[in-house]
Homo-oligomer: A and B are copies of this chain.
Amino acid sequence: MVILEKRISEEGIVAENDILKVGSFLNQQIDVPFMDALCQEFYNLYKNSNITKVLTIEASGISAATLTALHFGVPCVFAKKSHTTNLSGNLYKSEVYSFTHKCTNIAVVSQDYLSKNDRILIVDDFLANGAALSALIDIVNQAGATLVGCGILIEKLYQGGGNKLRQLGIRIESLAKIKNLYGKNGIEFEN
């Protein structure tokens, strides 16, 4: 989407270790009317797919998942991140390794909130190596629900996670695809 690529070019900050900071409009501070326009696009892409729930992972995916769910008129569910596997209750659990924070978390969703009758759209802000997305897909599969597809705001193509999942037949729609990061002011998008 041109409006997103433009905004990333204008406000994104490329930090060490290939980290792209978009805290001024997509996370920490969220330009909500702008984010809502992006989520409208997820609705356009999946409006004929009978989505019953939007799934994301805390914390920075919650805003986009909420606005997307509002367009569909359905609930959103967010996986919590836990540092321990010692959790009570009936839960779907899947491990997520964070390359940013160099630690493993457990993504956790109560079994009460996903079922085999659900048709799920997964929404997240970033897709890089695909660790968080793979955990959410694993949770959808544990629930026996149908994964309709994924809606991602920014995909870092060069980290390869998205294309690995596409090769498994998973539909992934990314609104901005970054081919390469070359440090400050060097963000190359795929057309």
Tell me if A74 is interfacial: C-beta within 8 Å of chain B: yes
- Copy tally for this chain in the complex stands at 2
| A28 and B59 within 8 A (CB) | no
| A30 and B80 within 8 A (CB) | no
B-chain residues with CB within 8 Å of residue A36 when the two chains form the complex: 70
Per-position contact with B for A18-30: 1 when CB-CB < 8 Å, else 0?
A: 0000011100111
CA of A35 to CA of B25, assembled, Å: 23
Tell me if A99 is interfacial: C-beta within 8 Å of chain B: no
| B63 and A32 within 8 A (CB) | no
Near B by CB (< 8 A), chain A positions 20-54 give 23-25, 28-33, 35-36
B-chain residues with CB within 8 Å of residue A186 when the two chains form the complex: none
- Chain A residues close to B by CB (< 8 Å): 23-25, 28-33, 35-36, 58-59, 62-63, 66-67, 69-70, 73-78, 80, 109-110, 112-113
CA of A24 to CA of B35, assembled, Å: 25
* Minimum C-beta distance from A13 to chain B (A): 10
Report which of B25, B74, B78 forms a contact with A28, defined as CB distance below 8 A. Answer: B78
| A70 and B113 within 8 A (CB) | no
CA of A77 to CA of B112, assembled, Å: 30
* Minimum C-beta distance from A150 to chain B (A): 18
CA of A178 to CA of B85, assembled, Å: 33
B-chain residues with CB within 8 Å of residue A25 when the two chains form the complex: 75
